[in-house]
Structure 1
Amino acid sequence: MLLAMLCVLLVVRLAGLDAGTPFAVPVVLFPYGAVLSVLALTAIIAVPAVRSLRLVIVAALLAASYVAPLIPRFVPHHQQHVPAQAPELRVATVNTHVGRADARALVELVKSERIDVLAVQELPSAGIAALTEAGLDKVLPYQELHPENDSSLYSRIPLTHGGPLKADTAWAQTTAQVTVGGRPVRMVAVHTYYPLGDANRWTRDMTALTSVAHRSGPDTVFLGDFNASLDHAPMRELLTSGGLADTHAELGKGWARTWPANKSPLPPLVQLDHVLHGSGLAGISVSERTIAGTDHRAVIATLALLPTKERAG
Structure 2
Amino acid sequence: MSGDRGRRTARVATAVAVPFGLVGAATTVARSLPEDASGLPSDTWVMITSFSDYGLLSYAVAGVAAVVGIAARRRPATLAVGGLVLALAAVHASWLLPRFAGRGLDASGALAGRPAAAGDPGFRLLSLNMELGHADPAAVTDAAAAADVVVLTEATKPTVSTLAAGAFGARFPHRTPNTLPWSGAAGTAVFSRYPLTDVRALPGLVHQTWAVTVRLPDADPVTVVGVHPARPYLGGHDWLGEQQRLRELVPPGERVVVAGDFNAVDSHRPIRALRAAGYRSSTELAAAGWQPTYPADRAFPPLLEIDHVLLAPGLTATASRAVPVRGTDHRGVLATLTTAARA
Q: TM-score, normalised by structure 1?
A: 0.89
**1:83-232 pair list within 5 angstroms:** 83-111=117-145, 113=146, 115-144=147-176, 145-148=178-181, 149-166=186-203, 168-180=204-216, 181=218, 183-196=220-233, 200-213=237-250, 215-232=251-268
Q: Is the 8 A contact 1:283 1:301 kept in 2?
A: yes
- Matches of 2:56 and 2:100, distance apart in 1: 14
Helix, strand or coil at the partner of 1:25 = helix
Q: Is the 8 A contact 1:18 1:232 kept in 2?
A: no
What's the offset of the Cα at 1:236? 0.6
- Matches of 1:207 and 1:294, distance apart in 2: 27
C-alpha spacing 1:231/1:18, structure 2 compared with 1 (3 Å): farther
What's the offset of the Cα at 1:301? 0.6
Q: Is the 8 A contact 2:114 2:313 kept in 1?
A: no
Q: Is the 8 A contact 1:186 1:220 kept in 2?
A: yes
C-alpha spacing 1:157/1:125, structure 2 compared with 1 (3 Å): same
Q: Is the 8 A contact 1:169 1:204 kept in 2?
A: no
- 1:255 is aligned to 290
Helix, strand or coil at the partner of 2:97 = helix
Match of 1:44 among 66, 71, 75: 66
Q: Is the 8 A contact 2:317 2:337 kept in 1?
A: yes
- 1:272 is aligned to 306
- Matches of 2:135 and 2:234, distance apart in 1: 23
**1:289-300 pair list within 5 angstroms:** 289-300=323-334
Helix, strand or coil at the partner of 1:101 = coil
Rg: which structure is higher? Answer: 2
- 2:9 is aligned to none
What's the offset of the Cα at 1:275? 0.6
One-letter amino acid matched to 1:46 = V
Q: Is the 8 A contact 2:292 2:302 kept in 1?
A: yes
What's the offset of the Cα at 1:133? 4.0
Deviations 1:224-272 (A, max 9, x none): 100111111111102222x311110112224111111121x11111111
Superposed CA RMSD: 2.3
Tell me the matched-pair count: 303
Helix, strand or coil at the partner of 1:58 = helix
Q: TM-score, normalised by structure 2?
A: 0.81
What's the offset of the Cα at 1:18? 6.6
Which structure 1 segments of 5+ residues have no match? none
Q: Is the 8 A contact 2:30 2:52 kept in 1?
A: no
What's the offset of the Cα at 1:27? 1.9
Residue 80 (structure 2) pairs with residue 54 (structure 1)? yes
One-letter amino acid matched to 1:237 = A
Q: Is the 8 A contact 1:221 1:276 kept in 2?
A: yes
One-letter amino acid matched to 1:13 = R
